[in-house]
Structure 1
Amino acid sequence: MKFAYSLKQKTKIAVLLFLIMVCIILIRLLEDRSIKNMEKAFTSLYNDRLVPATDLFYIAEKFYAKRYLLEAYVYNDQNHLNAAQLQLKLNDYNNDIDTLLFKYEKTFLVTNERNYLDELKYKIRINKALEKSILSNPSPTDKTGIKILYNSEMEASFLDISDRLSQLTKVQTTVGSQLREESQKIVRGTSLYSTLQLLIAIVIGALIVSILAASNVMNIRNDHYNLN
């Protein structure tokens, strides 16, 4: 009878320890997944938001430089650059912009970001066509025609491009904020898993103490039985 009771108690303890072991493994797996998700969120925050935001700044900077050169060519009667020299300068800026846009396209893009980017590329194509129209002016001295073209279309083109760049920059801020909130949730989840591990450790400690106490009680009872 005593053997059966002892076996029953050991079985209960074994089952309890097995359940605790399963809980520890599950918590460990969840914790590993949280760490991977956190690493993914931080990587995306850097590669897909911080770097593209910097590239957008450089693109805007190069458009401002192009605008300055074109304004100087159109409105300044004593240009330091002729049409051919200016075209070479603008080509350099355009190549740099295309390289940055190609790099930007390789990042993760949300839906509205993709739409804004497509609009930006379309506006840039229009801008390049207007550049060619201005630089193909047949009369270097009479700039009435290209002044009208610049005022009526090129100014609007630069404003459209600036607007699309601004929209894309806002997307970086919005999505970056979402990634930050996601990271904070992951941190809170990891903290919860650590708390659960601590509670399980306490349960294991309490179980060990109860087993030792029960063992001492059984030994005392057996000593009394032997003395009798």
Structure 2
Amino acid sequence: MKWSFVIQQKMKAALLLGGIMALIILATLLSRRNMEGIDKSFSSIYQDRLIPATTIIYLTENLYGKRLSLEEYLLTKGAGNKSEIKAQLSAHNQNIDSLIGAFEKTYLVDEEAKSLTAFKTEVLRYEALEKSVLNLCSSGAQEEGRKLFAGAGSNTFKNTITNLNELTNIQSSIGKDLMKESKSDIASFGIISFLQIGLAVVIGLMLLVLIQNSAIINKPKITGEKNQYFNLN
């Protein structure tokens, strides 16, 4: 009876310990997955949100640089250095092309890709207007060049800035979503950690119970042997 009871208790303990070990392994895998998710979220915030946000600042700077350079040239009524203004505009255009290329290498959501495509279209349109303004000034039609710059040129320039503002808003929105996702992963990691601690405590209590049961089972046997010894005497 004692041995059958011991075997039964050990089988129960083994099954329970096996279940707990399986839960611990599962919790460990989930923790690892959460950590990978947190790492991915923070990497995405830097690579796909912070870098594009910085790129937008530089794009805005170059667009305003072009606008101010051409405006300054027009204020001279054609007396400015034509080669110099062309070189300035060309340098800004090259910077803008490089920045757009860097932006396109990041991960883009659908809305972001559409806004970037619209921005590229407006940039090309604005470059064409700049060339038209310079051609008019070169042909002696400075007044017409200034009107084109102040009219269609101004509207196209505003469109490029509007597109950049849209991209900025998208960066902010997606960044907030990534932060929420990271917080969710961190919360899940905390819950799993507490679960692992709880399972460790349960294992410890089970070991104490097993030790106590073993002591109870062995104690009557020792007592019986002592009584037999006394009866023989």
TM-score by shorter chain over 0.5: yes
Give the aligned partner of residue 34 of structure 1.
34
Q: CA deviation at 1:141?
A: 5.2
Give the aligned partner of residue 11 of structure 1.
11
Quick check: which has more Rg, 1 or 2? 2
CA separation of 1:68 and 1:10: change in aligned 2, threshold 3 A: same
Within 1, Cα distance between the matches of 2:145 and 2:164? Answer: 26
Q: CA deviation at 1:77?
A: 3.2
Q: Kindly, what percent of the aligned residue pairs are identical? A: 33
Give the aligned partner of residue 172 of structure 1.
171
Q: Number of matched residues? A: 227
**1:100-115 to 2 correspondence within 5 Å?**
100-115=99-114
Unaligned ranges ≥5, structure 2: 228-233
Q: Is the 8 A contact 2:47 2:106 kept in 1?
A: yes
**1:59-208 to 2 correspondence within 5 Å?**
59-77=59-77, 79=79, 81-137=80-136, 139=138, 142-208=141-207
Where 2:106 maps in the other structure, the secondary structure is: coil
Deviations 1:91-123 (A, max 9, x none): 111111110101101111111111100100000
Q: CA deviation at 1:138?
A: 5.4
Q: Is the 8 A contact 2:78 2:137 kept in 1?
A: no
Within 2, Cα distance between the matches of 1:193 and 1:139? Answer: 72
- Misfit runs of 4+, over 6 Å: none
Q: CA deviation at 1:215?
A: 1.2
Where 1:136 maps in the other structure, the secondary structure is: helix
Unaligned ranges ≥5, structure 1: none
Q: CA deviation at 1:78?
A: 7.0
Equivalent AA in structure 1 for residue 117 of structure 2: D
| TM-score w.r.t. length of structure 2 | 0.93
Q: Is the 8 A contact 2:137 2:145 kept in 1?
A: no
| TM-score w.r.t. length of structure 1 | 0.95
